Amino acid sequence: MSQINVRNLSNENDDGAPDIVGVSTFSATSYFVPPKGTTSQRPHNPQSGELRFNTDSASLEYFRGDTINWTQIEMTSPDLDGGARGIFFGGYQAPAGRMNVIQYLTISTLGNSLDFGDLNDNTGRPSAAASRTRAVCLGGFQSPTLVNIIQYVTIPSTGNATDFGDLTVARNQAGAASSQIRAIGGGGNPSTNAMDYITIASTGNAVDYGDLTVARQSPSAAASSTRMVWMGGEGSPANVNTIDYVTILTTGNATDFGDLTQKTRLAAACSNSTRALYAGGDDPSLSPYTNIIQYVTIASTGNATDFGDLTVARTELTSCSAPTRGVFAGGSTPASATLNTIDYVEILTTGNAVDFGDMATATSFRPGGTSNAHGGL
């Protein structure tokens, strides 16, 4: 067997390692270091199967060579031994009104949601985000007023929510998402472009992050481990199709990403590490609600693309996700103020949603939805 011992190899352009032809095995007793660099330093003409370490996301990634392009290599967390869990906070049920119910489901297993515990009060239109172990419920409406309350639960267990701290301003209808470390909320009612953030592992009050490009209420947000996008919402005087993004671990104002195919509000968004989905919502120019699912590739910029359709056209729904599956739950239609519908899609393919099960408590008013396996983790 032939051997070659070298410390460094590079090609003639000094932008990566050369091709090594005919070698099938690397053996060592210590480690193998792949090429590394930032997202902006990715190879200009990558080939399918190329592997590198992305220093921005602190993760291995490989080039798929299809429309998804660079993909993070997902790790299985010990926190997910019982399956990736989706959490839904609060909402509204006719005719009772706003609810304090927390529900959960196992994303990989079809079936109905189950009772998790209770929020501190009946809460409509909160937002939500999560790490692998903790889910936070941000703001909302608790009669007779908007609140700045942040609450949290420990995802692998069940039980009632605990106080976390306060938002910088009382609001509902914000769009929120997170990485493993940081949750960011943006927009909301009253209409604002403000963003604030918390460190999920600790407790305490939110801190100012920056501003969205357009002030709006009811946008929807999703994230990879490094980037968060806000999509749609209700501006003044009309809905917008704006998509903004930020780099999560920095602070500052959002940047334009592209446009949705429709100008909708009160939709639901979720993601894996590469794709963000945006589903449902309403606009006075529609009839009046939509079943359209759209998607963007988070690492790039550009306009949203059609993905497929929900099983029911609806607004005021919520969502959660795992690396391969996006779940959409609840909502309302002209015929029903609250739905128990749960449907799902496989994120890496395109197509229409399929029935998942039913919510234990039918709900609308866009409950806060999140999971311990979403794209930001």
Cβ atoms of 229 and 222 closer than 8 Å:
yes
d(CA 309, CA 289): 12
User: In 3-state terms, what secondary structure has residue 124?
Assistant: strand
pLDDT tens for 268-310 read 999 999 999 999 999 877 778 999 999 999 999 999 999 999 9
| % pLDDT > 90, the chain | 74
List pLDDT tens digits, range 216-225. 999 999 999 9
The whole-number average pLDDT for the span 9-16 is: 56
Region 340-369: what's the mean pLDDT?
A: 97
Output the pLDDT for position 77: 46
Range list for CATH 2.120.10.80 in the chain? 78-371
List the one residue out of 268, 227, 224, 218 whose CA is nearest residue 86.
Answer: 268
Q: What is the mean pLDDT of residues 113-122?
A: 98
Would you give the DSSP letter of residue 199? E
CA distance 289 to 28: 59
In 3-state terms, what secondary structure has residue 129? strand
φ, ψ (nearest 5 deg) of residue 153: -130, 160
Q: What is the architecture, at CATH level 2, of domain 78-371?
A: 6 Propeller (2.120)
Burial of 109 (0-12, 13-18, 19+ CB in 10 A): exposed
**What value does the mean pLDDT take over residues 148-161?**
98
